[in-house]
Amino acid sequence: MSKDATEPRPDLVRLRDATQKVVGSVFFGEMFRSMRDSEMKGDYGHGGRAEEMFSAQLHGILAERMGQRSEGGLADALYKHLEKQQNRITRTNLVETEASI
């Protein structure tokens, strides 16, 4: 049974997932953290430590999802760059393998 030509390579699928997670946690996660740490909290309606913990968890989930959904954005640009490097490494490994046979 041959692989379908349209089926993505497993290494590139893992690369895309990792890229999206990194962009989500590093870029969007830091953005949310900065917003939480801002001085814009009012005197009333602040839920204290429990609210801070809940919002940190919520922002972590939102940052991860934003990294996964950023079509044409930072995650895609980073993935395309890393994909080129991964393809070069794969080609180099194939050539070295064929040469050693």
Distance, in Å, from the CA atom of 66 to the CA atom of 85, rounded to the nearest integer, reads 25
CA angle, 3 then 83 then 25, to 5°: 115
pLDDT tens per residue, the chain (101 residues)?
Answer: 455 667 888 989 999 999 988 888 888 888 888 888 876 766 666 777 888 889 889 999 999 888 888 677 888 899 999 999 999 998 888 888 888 87
The HSE-up count of residue 65 (CA atoms within 13 Å, CB side) is: 6
User: For the chain, give me the number of helices (H) and strands (E)?
Assistant: 4, 0
Q: How many residues does the chain have?
A: 101
Residue carrying the six token digits 């890393």: 82
What pLDDT sits at residue 1?
Answer: 47
Tokens of 9: 């390579």
What pLDDT sits at residue 42?
Answer: 67
